Amino acid sequence: MESTHQKKATFGKRERLPCIAPLLTTVEETPQMVSARVRGHFPKWLSGYLLRIGPGKFEFGKDKYNHWFDGMALLHQFRIEKGTVTYRSKFLQSDTYKANSVHDRIVISEFGTLALPDPCKNVFERFMSKFELPAITDNTNVNYVRYKGDYYVSTETNFMNKVDIKTLEKTEKVDWSKFIAVNGATAHPHYDPDGTAYNMGNSYGPHGSCYNIIRVPPENVDLGETIHGAQVICSIASAERMKPSYYHSFGMTRNYIIFIEQPLKMNLWKIVTSRIRGKPFSSGISWEPQYNTRFHVVDKHTGQLLPGMYYSKPFVTFHQINAFEDQGCVVIDLCCQDDGRSLEVYQLQNLRKAGEGLDQVYNSVGRSFPRRFVLPLHVSLNDPEGENLSPLSYSSASAVKQADGKIWCSYENLHPEDLEEEGGVEFPQINYGQFSGKKYRFFYGCGFRHLVGDSLIKVDVVNKTLKIWREDGFYPSEPVFVPAPGTSEEDGGVILSAVITPDQYCLSVLE
């Protein structure tokens, strides 16, 4: 069913990768504001806070975390004003962080690390503790998000932590499940121009698993509100009752939400019994490419699931780039991998290897590339089978109706072959405020010639060209686009990225 323009990418193996173990060790926080040395210049109009978050502590006492995603959340703040920059960082004072600190060991399980029973208990008590429901971590170390003008740090559990962005202090712990019937939400919501937020979260019940689309109103009615007024506007049943798909983000246009049900499966039975089995939660997630990937399209105004059944060959996506509507179609651009086993690779024992061992780990990882899919919205019984239903002359992506009524979607690559030499691209960002949900031309991301990003890339999806920034030994984080005041050009602005090296930490500004 694949179009002739699609071919499996082949990659040259890399050798003698530099060791990145120093980047994956516990660091000290910098709670007092320090002045940064500025090289070059900042645009005079650039002013405000750049907020970043990520894992910064990888052990308590003799207990060590196993996975990169497990480290305790460290909040970073760069304040930019009149060409000067100050920096501070603080560990998020989550309940998890405080409990681990008090006991000087890991007492709450994370994604890839199972908390062991209290060694002070007797043998019987330790055995029985395996049958207790595990505490859910509030180590929200993935992303800053906004709801009703307030800032939260989020992961994918049911907890978020509200943060004062000036002081980096946690002000409140918020539980999604106290407001709506979901067991968590993604760390990548979308926003309408008026501030209305949309997100997705799973729910698990006696009738199976559902993927839920959440709407949060744009403003607080009363002081002290958090996500009050949140609603589930649509629930989509999982194709498999006890094995819903894992997802990290979703797509949104002006009128539609696009959810991708992919063959990266969460075995709920394995996850629930992980403590009894002595395994971390991550052991319940598996790549099952015998299943195809499915796109679900929902009218975000009515909450109605559109009847179209859109499928493609199996792939996994963690981050969507952008989505928009054109000529009766939804166009969605994604960073895609053909191998969904990459989560397993990011165990700290792998990332801390050196020499040939590190090369082998890198060369085993699937690469991520930008792809475009086109989903025609108004498919009728009279539409011909076996023909491309996409009317978009500028895209080679196709949508072909099959005999069973399903629409088979084949992608268009949005990159030149040069991107293969850069190790693919991830962490895509666009000029979100002006072009989210609209036809666009540029996105920015990190190139992966190492297991962590080692370049910043600007991709022109119309001309399929690249602009690359790289310096040896520098590892940039997800780029943030800041538009220049008064400009109408899509790429009129700067890119901000926090860049780490084995011996320093800096902020890069690319105009």
| Binding residue positions for Fe cation | 188, 248, 319
User: Do the Cβ atoms of 347 and 353 come closer than 8 Å?
Assistant: no
256 CB-near residues (< 8 Å, 6+ apart):
297, 298, 299, 300, 306, 323, 325, 330
User: Do the Cβ atoms of 58 and 65 come closer than 8 Å?
Assistant: yes
Tell me the residue type at 26: T
Q: Where are the alpha helices (DSSP H) in 1-136?
A: 95-103, 123-129
* Lookup result for tokens 């990882």: 365
- In 285-312, which positions are buried (b, 16+ CB within 10 angstroms) versus exposed (e)? bbbebebbbbbbbbebeeeebbebbbbb
357 CB-near residues (< 8 Å, 6+ apart):
none
268 CB-near residues (< 8 Å, 6+ apart):
204, 209, 242, 243, 244, 284
- For residue 67, the cross-strand partners are 347
User: Do the Cβ atoms of 195 and 219 come closer than 8 Å?
Assistant: yes
Closest by CA position to 491, among listed 502, 481, 505: 481
466 CB-near residues (< 8 Å, 6+ apart):
415, 416, 418, 419, 422, 457, 458, 459, 460
94 CB-near residues (< 8 Å, 6+ apart):
72, 73, 137, 138, 139, 140, 161, 170, 173
CA distance 143 to 471: 26
Closest by CA position to 23, among listed 453, 449, 365: 453
CB neighbours of residue 149 within 10 Å: 9
HSE-CB of 422 using CA atoms within 13 angstroms: 27
Closest by CA position to 449, among listed 9, 10, 17: 17
Q: What residue numbers does the annotated binding site cover? A: 188, 248, 319
Q: List phi, psi (to 5°) of 359.
A: -60, -45
CA distance 28 to 99: 19
User: Do the Cβ atoms of 149 and 220 come closer than 8 Å?
Assistant: yes
DSSP 186-247: -S--EE-TTS-EEEEEEEEETTEEEEEEEEE-SS-SSTT-SSTT-EEEEEEE-SSTT-PBP-
* Lookup result for tokens 């609209």: 438
